[in-house]
Amino acid sequence: MLRNFLFMRHGESTANVEGICAGGDTRHPLTQTGRAQARQAAAVLQAAGTLPQRIIHSHQIRAAQTAELVRDGLAIAPDQVSGDGNWRERGFGRWEGTPFLDIRHHLEDWIDPPEGEPLPDLFSRVTAGLAALPQGLTLVVSHGGLWHVLNKLHGVSQAPHIGNAEIFSVTVASAVPTITSTRIV
């Protein structure tokens, strides 16, 4: 089965500015820059004629706020925007609040965080999120860590970097685990 969708990382959050690992921490909203990034992403999608029919987002505030700003910019009906816990960032356990640069190498080596979400659970959750995507073009607003998981699940060892409010057009073939992506924003 083929899945075509758009994947967007949330706009800049307060945790990004602080340089800390905020995985499962839900207290980090968008900054003013993050809000502007989300509005700009919507404008680029509008100009390109790449208009999703619906938006699915992580429940974490930074992703939910990004989704709402994009929804407003694209005039998508509110009932076509919903949260899905499968797209939340990984819970990093004792690494929450740690400077990201101090743990980055652990994440790149796919090491489970102490008291955090184990990789098998994370992979199962992202697979369930993919399986639940509706027909039609959907924008998934999620997190950088989930972008890397999505790519790893489909055979990409070095995922392209995804910055705040960047969007990729994604095609996933599940019969043979492959993924292709094209940067839009």
3-state secondary structure of 93: helix
Q: What is the pLDDT of residues 111-165, one digit of tens each?
A: 999 999 999 999 999 999 999 999 999 999 999 999 999 999 888 888 899 999 9
Q: What is the pTM of this model?
A: 0.95
Pairing of strands 54-57, 178-183: unpaired
- pLDDT value of residue 159: 87
Count of domains for the chain: 1
Cα 41 versus chain centre, distance: 14
What does the DSSP assignment read for 133-144?
Answer: PPSS-EEEEE-H
Name the band, by pLDDT with cuts 50, 70 and 90, for residue 175: low
Q: How many CB atoms lie within 10 A of CB 70?
A: 29
- pLDDT value of residue 157: 80
Name the band, by pLDDT with cuts 50, 70 and 90, for residue 173: confident
Q: State the Cα–Cα distance between residues 14 and 33, nearest whole angstrom.
A: 10
Within 18-166, strands assigned E span 54-57, 81-83, 138-142
- pLDDT value of residue 177: 61
Look at residues 92, 87, 88, 89 and name the one whose alpha carbon lies nearest to residue 104: 92
In which domain, by residue range, is 44 found? 2-183
- What CATH number should be reported for the domain holding residue 129? 3.40.50.1240
Is residue 94 within 8 A of residue 102, CB to CB? The reply is: no
Q: What is the pLDDT of residues 1-38, one digit of tens each?
A: 678 999 999 999 999 999 999 988 778 999 999 999 99
Using the predicted structure, report yes or no on whether residue 184 has a pLDDT greater than 90. no
DSSP state of 83: E
Q: Which residues pair with 55 in a beta bridge?
A: 81, 139
Q: Which two tokens stand for residue 169?
A: 């057009």
- pLDDT value of residue 1: 66
- pLDDT value of residue 98: 95
